[in-house]
Chain A
């Protein structure tokens, strides 16, 4: 494939790089214990590949090629620094392990373990949560520091300092480079998944870095492959796939968020939905992410908003409320029951959700009450509630949508006549749709 099409080479090169990066960094950290050296050498190997492969062609075993280049680079640096012989010897063995793998046998366990080790170390609970997210992006995903800095709204030098501090803390605090075993694994896994979730939302949110969502999905796929049979890992992957399938459809031409019920379902990524359904079929058990994924699946597989299986969603929310009670889950549950079993059922659960005052400042709670009230037939009261929800919302498309809803129900005094208002032909809610399937999903696990 020496004279392959340049675009094809570039695609093959970046795929190989994305696939190999964490593997290389993880292996070099294990042997040298030096995080910065590992990252630098991996980066240099990638840079060399992107420089050479377009002209020379992609090697038969791109991952092995990258590992060898990175390893040789590390040997050079360590030799110059005159580091102990033990590390150099282990680096030589690293090459053997990699060649063994290229030959199609052995070595895989070791390499697989390395990447998990890296993920669990970057997500160690003794690191601040923001540091965990940044470190995972930088070290596991190889995202440039400048891009991470932008997502965290800080300058590049600030982010560089934070990353350096986090890496120094791993060594100084005694954080082990290890995947926990036994009960400790079950205890630590939710923390890792919470980091992945934050990573995903950083990418999926309105102003996020879209690439982060892809990285979160890639990591979830990796974890699912390396830790089969963990229902929360598969549940999280399925949830990501369902949410991300709507990425293209959830904005109109002006960049405003389009509510789930109004999205053009032909623009959903149906391959991602199919993968999500397949992953979810493997989930054997229940947990907060698996329960959310089941809810998201109901939305993602409905042929139209009207065809949504609300009784199934309401039942899934009942389970989620038991597994992971929170005010937002209670709110979403009330909305789901409102669709499944009528507005009166929804309003009763909404009263329950609001006891204790946890949702007092939540415009979505008022909007949900407004919608349920409108569907029960009390247009005047509903209009007032929509206006109140609008007043509680930040200026923007969501607030405008709430005001539109209020005007359609009962025009404000002195502003036109009701006759001129087209009104909504269907009773579907638009604006702030707080269901887990919507883009403001509640999430468990921090």
Chain B
């Protein structure tokens, strides 16, 4: 089952002083186990462009489509048995503590 994992910032990050997990170790671990298909870090929202078409007219605006403090900063495509396994992958990502992570399965289920 494939999940899109959105890596986001959060207004209230964790304050636990114990060491953060390491992102390189996380990638190596999950790539090695075949649970992470691909992923990347996004450029800051200042580089974002929002595209809309209204009545045939192209409208471009700078910045992300939603004006929120919590923004998507990266993504990973996961291939896991089920939600429980995807949660296991997500919880060890550094941004689970420094921000938040959203897991979204694909609409066509198994794929």
User: Interface residues, chain A, CB within 8 Å of chain B?
Assistant: 126, 171-176, 178, 180, 184
**C-alpha spacing A211/B86, complex, angstroms:** 37
Kindly list chain A residues whose C-beta atoms are within 8 Å of the C-beta of B37: none
Kindly list chain B residues whose C-beta atoms are within 8 Å of the C-beta of A173: 83, 105
12 A-B residue pairs with Cβ-Cβ distance under 8 Å, sorted by A, are A126-B87, A171-B109, A174-B80, A174-B86, A174-B105, A175-B83, A175-B84, A176-B81, A176-B83, A178-B82, A178-B84, A180-B84
- Quick check: A176 and B82 within 8 Å, CB to CB? yes
- The list of the 10 closest CB pairs from A to B, nearest first, reads A176-B82, A174-B83, A174-B82, A174-B1, A175-B83, A174-B105, A176-B84, A173-B83, A126-B83, A173-B105
Q: How far is the CB of A368 from chain B (nearest CB, A)?
A: 34
Kindly list chain A residues whose C-beta atoms are within 8 Å of the C-beta of B87: 126
**C-alpha spacing A87/B102, complex, angstroms:** 33
**C-alpha spacing A174/B84, complex, angstroms:** 8
Q: Cβ of B6 < 8 Å from any Cβ of A?
A: no
Kindly list chain B residues whose C-beta atoms are within 8 Å of the C-beta of A176: 81-84
Kindly list chain B residues whose C-beta atoms are within 8 Å of the C-beta of A178: 82, 84
**C-alpha spacing A173/B107, complex, angstroms:** 10
Q: How far is the CB of A204 from chain B (nearest CB, A)?
A: 32
Kindly list chain A residues whose C-beta atoms are within 8 Å of the C-beta of B1: 174
**C-alpha spacing A343/B77, complex, angstroms:** 62
**C-alpha spacing A176/B88, complex, angstroms:** 13
**C-alpha spacing A171/B80, complex, angstroms:** 14
Kindly list chain A residues whose C-beta atoms are within 8 Å of the C-beta of B105: 172-174
Kindly list chain B residues whose C-beta atoms are within 8 Å of the C-beta of A172: 105, 109
As a 0/1 sequence over residues 57 to 92 of chain B, the CB contacts with chain A under 8 angstroms (1 = contact) are: 000000000000000000000001111101100000
A173, closest chain B residue (CB): B83
Q: A174-B105, A175-B83 are in contact. List 12 more A-B contacts (CB 8 A).
A: A126-B83, A171-B109, A173-B105, A174-B3, A174-B80, A174-B82, A174-B83, A174-B86, A175-B82, A176-B81, A180-B84, A184-B84
Kindly list chain B residues whose C-beta atoms are within 8 Å of the C-beta of A175: 82-84
Kindly list chain A residues whose C-beta atoms are within 8 Å of the C-beta of B3: 174
**C-alpha spacing A172/B105, complex, angstroms:** 7
Q: How large is the interface on B (under 10, 10 to 19, 20 to 34, 35 or more residues)?
A: 10 to 19
Kindly list chain A residues whose C-beta atoms are within 8 Å of the C-beta of B83: 126, 173-176
Q: How far is the CB of B60 from chain A (nearest CB, A)?
A: 34
Kindly list chain A residues whose C-beta atoms are within 8 Å of the C-beta of B109: 171-172
Centre residue among B1, B80, B82, B84 by max chain A CB count within 10 A: B84
Kindly list chain B residues whose C-beta atoms are within 8 Å of the C-beta of A174: 1, 3, 80, 82-83, 86, 105
Q: How far is the CB of A267 from chain B (nearest CB, A)?
A: 46
**C-alpha spacing A229/B83, complex, angstroms:** 28
**C-alpha spacing A184/B87, complex, angstroms:** 11
Report B95-111 residues with CB < 8 Å from chain A CB: 105, 109
Kindly list chain B residues whose C-beta atoms are within 8 Å of the C-beta of A184: 84
Q: How far is the CB of B3 from chain A (nearest CB, A)?
A: 7
**C-alpha spacing A184/B83, complex, angstroms:** 13
Kindly list chain A residues whose C-beta atoms are within 8 Å of the C-beta of B86: 174
**C-alpha spacing A174/B109, complex, angstroms:** 8
Q: How far is the CB of A351 from chain B (nearest CB, A)?
A: 29
A125, closest chain B residue (CB): B87
Kindly list chain A residues whose C-beta atoms are within 8 Å of the C-beta of B84: 175-176, 178, 180, 184
Q: How far is the CB of A13 from chain B (nearest CB, A)?
A: 38
Kindly list chain B residues whose C-beta atoms are within 8 Å of the C-beta of A126: 83, 87
**C-alpha spacing A173/B103, complex, angstroms:** 9
Q: How far is the CB of A284 from chain B (nearest CB, A)?
A: 29
**C-alpha spacing A173/B87, complex, angstroms:** 11
Q: How far is the CB of A108 from chain B (nearest CB, A)?
A: 26
Q: How far is the CB of B53 from chain A (nearest CB, A)?
A: 30
A170, closest chain B residue (CB): B83
B88, closest chain A residue (CB): A184
**C-alpha spacing A184/B86, complex, angstroms:** 13
**C-alpha spacing A174/B83, complex, angstroms:** 5
**C-alpha spacing A401/B86, complex, angstroms:** 54
Q: How far is the CB of B100 from chain A (nearest CB, A)?
A: 15
**C-alpha spacing A129/B87, complex, angstroms:** 18
Q: How far is the CB of A65 from chain B (nearest CB, A)?
A: 34
Kindly list chain A residues whose C-beta atoms are within 8 Å of the C-beta of B82: 174-176, 178
Q: How far is the CB of B26 from chain A (nearest CB, A)?
A: 19
Q: How far is the CB of A165 from chain B (nearest CB, A)?
A: 16
Kindly list chain B residues whose C-beta atoms are within 8 Å of the C-beta of A180: 84
**C-alpha spacing A126/B87, complex, angstroms:** 10
B110, closest chain A residue (CB): A174
Centre residue among A126, A171, A174, A175 by max chain B CB count within 10 A: A174
Q: How far is the CB of A406 from chain B (nearest CB, A)?
A: 44
**C-alpha spacing A175/B86, complex, angstroms:** 10
**C-alpha spacing A173/B105, complex, angstroms:** 6
**C-alpha spacing A180/B83, complex, angstroms:** 12
